[in-house]
């Protein structure tokens, strides 16, 4: 009879979330910043927003997304430092190495979050508490004393992530089956990863405003409220069940850049856009993919002023073709967009296919790009990649080099995509 009783799902996942990661790295690198309110900004101008805030800054109400000029008004002792993403990536790899000393990292979820699957001999509450303590001590001793982490442990990865958010900074929350529902019902729906303001409004319109109501739903009702299978998947996970990941693949490659005051005039911003396209092209070739679409996005200095458009491509992967397409979009933008100073530019490559997949229009003599031209342009682009990898970023570019106006600062701040170290030499 006892064998037929349902068993509680075991503690299967440990989720580590580094606290105020970018700001903590800056405090680790510069002892003078420790204990002080610090925000990290993309560029040195008050019109941008904070991309990270130390806990000392958060005490003043400053958060990620707070405008720098507002943050300075909220805290007159605030220290603003420019982001150094190459350092954040280097520390990221040190963190991964340290966690791997204690338990294998199963999934890198972002630059400051990792998930580890636990074996049956290491997932008792006492064992995971000891493991979490050892990881925290290892980070302090071998990576940096300023780098603290909140750790959550639960029966699936989503619950472990939510558990890590329950106690910050430097917390440890173990969602055993006897406390899981009570702890979760104390949260807001917005505490569920992926539930933003738009989704909150959608759920409220369906009569769903509390976690207790969500728990009382059936999986089918949750699916209906979300308007997709994600509602049903989420419902099962909140009830402690493990749900297999859906197969995913990269659908786009893109870069964006917040412009400092000196780069905002259209002629200079155009050079930045060219440089972003070339960086995206290098990544495209490294991934052995071709792109069938290029998108351009710009924001003007005036709040709410945006322009974006795209252009179909004949499945290319060379920088020359990509820059030519970007120039066509830029000319269109300059004619349609009334603003002559830009705050941000971004490019994206989409409709990705394998570099080795035959594309009919690529070999059509009437197409924009014939096979012979494609081969020559690709060979030139690959030669440029090799030169830049050997001699450093921007050793070889496609013209229009004006005194550093197009000089790359390396990959932009990335939260969910971890740049390869090679990108800092592109």
Say whether pLDDT at 135 is over 90. yes
Say whether pLDDT at 215 is over 60. yes
Specify the pLDDT at position 386: 80
Question: pLDDT grade, residue 247 (50/70/90)?
Answer: low
Specify the pLDDT at position 345: 95
Q: What is the mean pLDDT of residues 28-37?
A: 96
Please give the DSSP secondary-structure letter assigned to residue 194. T
**Identical topology for domains 18-85 and 252-425:** no
Specify the pLDDT at position 248: 55
Domain boundaries, the chain: 18-85, 88-238, 252-425
Q: Which CATH superfamily, name and number, covers 88-238?
A: Reverse transcriptase/Diguanylate cyclase domain (3.30.70.270)
CB atoms within 10 A of CB 372: 10
Task: Compute the chain's Rg from CA coordinates.
Answer: 24
Say whether pLDDT at 39 is over 70. yes
Question: pLDDT grade, residue 402 (50/70/90)?
Answer: very low
Per-residue pLDDT of 366-393, as tens digits, reads 344 566 677 788 788 778 778 777 766 6
Say whether pLDDT at 338 is over 60. yes
Average pLDDT, the chain: 85
Specify the pLDDT at position 364: 41
What percentage of the chain carries pLDDT values higher than 90?
57
Q: What is the mean pLDDT of residues 10-30?
A: 95
Active-site entry in 113, 324, 423, 426: 113
pTM of the model: 0.66
Annotated catalytic, 301? no
Q: 252-425 domain in CATH 3.40.1160.10?
A: no
Say whether pLDDT at 334 is over 90. yes
Class of domain 18-85: alpha beta
Provide the token pair at 111. Answer: 């630059």
Name the residue among 167, 151, 176, 164 with its Cα closest to residue 240.
176
**CA dist., res. 265 & res. 334, Å (int):** 11
* Highest-pLDDT range among 38-47, 193-202, 322-331, 347-356: 322-331
């Amino acid at each position: 009879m006892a064998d037929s009783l349902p068993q509680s799902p075991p503690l299967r996942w440990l989720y580590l979330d580094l606290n105020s990661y970018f700001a903590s790295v800056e405090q680790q690198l510069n002892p003078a910043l420790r204990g002080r309110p610090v925000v990290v900004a993309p560029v040195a101008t008050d019109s941008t927003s904070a991309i990270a805030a130390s806990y000392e800054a958060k005490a003043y109400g400053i958060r990620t997304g707070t405008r720098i000029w507002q943050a300075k008004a909220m805290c007159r002792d605030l220290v603003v430092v420019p982001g150094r993403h190459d350092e954040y990536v280097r520390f990221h790899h040190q963190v991964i190495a340290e966690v791997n000393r204690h338990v294998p990292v199963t999934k890198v979820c972002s630059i400051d979050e990792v998930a580890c699957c636990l074996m049956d001999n290491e997932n008792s509450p006492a064992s995971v508490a000891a493991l979490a303590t050892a990881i925290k001590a290892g980070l302090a001793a071998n990576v940096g004393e300023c780098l603290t982490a909140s750790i959550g442990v639960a029966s699936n990865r989503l619950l472990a992530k939510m558990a890590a958010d329950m106690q910050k900074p430097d917390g440890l929350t173990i969602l055993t089956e006897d406390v899981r529902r009570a702890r979760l019902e104390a949260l807001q729906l917005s505490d569920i990863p992926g539930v933003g303001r738009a989704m909150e409004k959608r759920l409220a319109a369906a009569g769903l405003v509390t976690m207790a109501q969500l728990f009382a739903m059936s999986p089918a009702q949750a699916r209906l409220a979300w308007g997709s299978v994600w509602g049903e998947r989420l419902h099962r996970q909140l009830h402690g069940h493990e749900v297999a990941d859906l197969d995913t693949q990269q659908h786009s490659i893109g870069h964006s850049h917040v412009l400092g005051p000196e780069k905002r005039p259209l002629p200079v911003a155009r050079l930045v856009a060219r440089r972003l396209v070339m960086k995206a092209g290098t990544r495209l070739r490294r991934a052995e993919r071709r792109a069938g679409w290029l998108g351009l996005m710009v924001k003007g200095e005036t709040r709410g002023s945006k322009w974006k458009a795209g252009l179909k491509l004949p499945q290319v992967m060379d920088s020359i073709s990509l820059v030519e397409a970007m120039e066509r979009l830029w000319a269109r933008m300059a004619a349609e967009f009334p603003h002559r100073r830009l705050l941000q530019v971004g490019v994206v490559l989409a409709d990705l296919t394998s570099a080795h997949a035959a594309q009919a229009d690529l070999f059509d003599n009437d197409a924009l790009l014939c096979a012979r031209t494609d081969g020559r342009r690709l060979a030139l682009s690959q030669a440029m990649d090799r030169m830049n990898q050997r001699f450093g970023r921007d050793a070889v570019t496609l013209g229009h080099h004006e005194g550093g106006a197009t000089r790359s600062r390396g990959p932009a701040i990335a939260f969910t995509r971890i740049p390869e170290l090679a990108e800092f030499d592109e």
